[in-house]
Each structure stands twice: as structure tokens, then as C-alpha cells.
Structure 1
Amino acid sequence: MFTLEQKRLHGLGELEMHAMQEGITGVVVIIDGLAMRRACILSALEPWATLERLRLVCCAPADVADLKDEKDVRLVLLNTGGSSLAEPEQHEILLAAKALSSGPCAVISDRLDANDAVAAAGLGLQAFLPAMLPLDVVKQALSFIMNGGTYFPREALLATVTVHARTVDRCHPAESGGSLTQRQAEVLEKLRFGRSNKHIARELNMQEATVKVHVRQIMRKLGAENRTQAALLAQSKTTHADDVELMASNTPTDMPGFRSAIGPQNLNATV
């Protein structure tokens, strides 16, 4: 069923709502603590959802448990506003949001903080979307992550990842990225572009279980805590050394642009 917010926002009756529901392929849950902000996000994403044949459902963080019986949840989108993911309350909300679905979960944040982006990756989220991104980019990113991709702001993460990579190289020189086998290097290249294990297995003609083994070995050799961080480490190695040094010396707010780190080089790419 459509939410009361949707009906009030668009002034649609039951017949119109029923017609819109035909052919719906899944649900996107939007979680936000402010009613006005929920309504704004709902209005902004409605055209995208219609094209994707998705139903939007909004709720406050306190009401997340009420959606536990919602079927076919394809994406959970949490707007944290200006709050940090390091705050215990936000951490609890994230865990509740992830429990709604085994599918992707993404965060929208007003903060351009590298630590928050890394925290999102560490918690297993598929995207960290700064609120300053153009709406069209957000829509394309959401479509991308629903098809197995990941989306994180490159500049916000490179400084942290570069420092981490240098620490790993100093502490574990024998386990640097140069020791990857050819097959592991091929898997890592796919990870850079946000491919899921299923997609990697299909593209490299191997079993999904074998991909999982390669991913674990790649994470160990790179000193990464998760697959997203491994992909970011690989991405940082492809950046010119001088550029990386410059990015590492700047804060995210000093950086001129905000591009995706892992995710579509072409957001319309097949995944």
C-alpha cells in the first residue's frame, strides 16, 4: 500500500493509486527522522521510482520495526542529515534498517566526512551519498546499487585509504597487492567497479564460492577489512602518486569535486 504521505502529497485517489501499483517490482524504504524531509525525498524520487516500477515507503526511525513484514524490499535508504554515523543512535538505526532486507542499504548525509564514508563501508552499506550530489546522479546511483554496484565519494575516502595502505605496506610488506595471483587481480578489478560475487562469477566463468575465496584472500593481502575497502585500495593505486599525495593533504571540504570512488564510471553501464 502507498503511504498516507504519498497520497496527501500527490492528491491521488484509490483508483489512481491502484493503477500506479500495477507492475510494481519491489519496494524502496526511506527512513528519515523529519516528516518534512521525508516528504521532500519522496517527491524527489517519485518519478525515478515510477520508471523503475518501484513503490516508495517512508517512515521515521522509531517506526522501522513496523515494516518488518514488508515484502520485496529492494533498497533501504537512510537519511542521517547532519548526524555522524559514529553516534550510537545512528548505529542502532542502521542495524534496524539493514534488518529490513538482505538487499542493499544506502545512506544520505549532509556531512562530507571521510570517516563517515569509511564507517558506512565498514558496516556493509552499499552507498554513501552526500546530500550535495545532483538529484540525477543520486537517482542513477540508486539504480546502480540495486543492480549489485556500490557508490562512495572518491575524494572523501582516498585520504583515509592511502594512509591505511601505507600502514599495511610498512607492517606487512610481504602481503602487499603485488603478491596477488593473476586470477585474484582479475577479481579485484571487478570489485573496483562494484561487481557483486554473482556478477564476477559469471563474467570470469567461475563458481561464486570460488569468487568468495578469492575476495577473502585479496582482503587479507591488501590488509582490507571488507570488500569495499579492498576496492578502494585498488582504486588508490591507479591514481597518480602526486595526485594521491595532494588528496591526502586536503580535507574533503577543500576538494573541488565529489566523484564516485567505486561505482559507475558510466552509471548506465550494465551490471
Structure 2
Amino acid sequence: MGRVQQRSRGTGMFEVKEGCLWAAPEKVGKRGRDSARGANALSQKGQSLLLVCKSNLERECIFNGLVMNGLKLAVICRPFIDHGEVLEDVAAVMIHIGSKRLADPFFSGEMQAIIDKWRPVPVVFLAEREEWAQVVRAMEIGARGYIPTSVDTRVCVEAIHLATAGGMYVPASMVTKPAAVDIDEDVLGELLTAREVEVVHAIRLGRSNKVIAYELGMSEGTVKAHVHNIMKKIGAANRTEVACMLHKMYGNMQNEN
């Protein structure tokens, strides 16, 4: 086991082991301790891992990889979460979210609803994106692990075992990566038009509609129309809520160029 470090980002004390961060049950905060107690009790009762992956090929490969690398749980495979299905023997849930972005409020809301439904059973994400913002958002909505698809299968198995013991796993390499601030590469680039992205960037910098109109060479009425469309797409009630949601998603960007 490696040395214990205090990180400024994350849930508190983490233990560095083989290039990964392992948050022991007693080190993940009050909410984590509450979840840990539930997870510990449930891991003694539950004997199965619920593996959720939409792709048949990937699901079969993951299943075989876990079984061949020492997973101590039976594996139940599903292409999606069936909210009407009752599974009483589940010790952990692993959801393959692919390249989906947790910064997307609609997708993260869907994932949080699943996590809340399964609580205190720990839910971990298997994901293609290796971004710190993804890890932070996963922790915020209650996930007990964020496993990139680039890790070794044995690490994935250990991460699942850790989650059933009340711990939390994220790769240490992702903590050292700077958070992405280029909005063109962010989820809003997928939700909004190029012009709306420019307006969002200006809103994040605290610009008024009048200033945005001047800087982008459009009328103030056009800016208001863009803001209205943005509100509809991200589920905000007004311009102030747009700014608050952007701040919550991406942090305070007032010090950008």
C-alpha cells in the first residue's frame, strides 16, 4: 500500500495504490460513512453484481473479464435499468455510461435517480471519459466509484470489491489532470448551437445582454432569443438560473481571459 495523502480536491483523505486513489470507508465523510455502513451490511447479504451495459458485445466482454479476474460476486447482466424489476440479491451496481457526460444535467439527473433508487447498494460508473469534472460530478450524485475503461480488468474487480466494502475508487492520474475549461469541448457544445455556446460563454463571464450583443455583433433582442433557447435546453427558469447552473457545472470562471 502506498502512502496516505491529503488532496485538495475530492472527498478527503485518499490512499494512493498502484496509480489509483482508494478512499477507505472511514475516510469518505459523513454521507460516505452512512453509505458505507449500509453497503457493508448489504455486501454480506447480496451476492451479485448488476452489470448494466447497452452494448451486447461490450457487456459480454466485461462479464467474461470480471469472472476470469477473480470477481467474488455472481454477475447479473442487463442492457438497461428496468425500474419495474425487483432484484434482492444485488451487492453492487456497475453502469457503463460510455462517453456520456455527467455535466449534462439531464443525464446526471437520470443517473442520480438510479443511485437514489438503489441506495444503500453502491453504484459505480464504468466510463470512457477520463476527466476530473466527470469524477467530481459522479461523487456529487452519490456514485461509489468512477472506473475508466482504460484500467486493467483486475483493477476494475478490486474497485467493485472496494465499493461493496463501503469504499470509493477513482484513478489517481485523473486527479492530477487540469480541469477542462474549453467550452467547445464541453457538453454544451453538444446541446447548443455555436452561437448559443458563445452567448453561454459570455454569461459565464458575467456579461449583460447589452454587452453580449455588442461583443458578438448582434441585436439585444437576438441575444434575448438565444438566452431563451438556452434556458429551455438546460432547464433553467430565467437568466439568473442559467448563470447559477453554469457556475455549479463548471465553477467560477470569472478569472478566465
Where is the strand percentage greater, Structure 1 or Structure 2?
2
TM-score after normalising by structure 1: 0.45
Where is the helix percentage greater, Structure 1 or Structure 2?
1
Which protein shows a greater Rg? 2
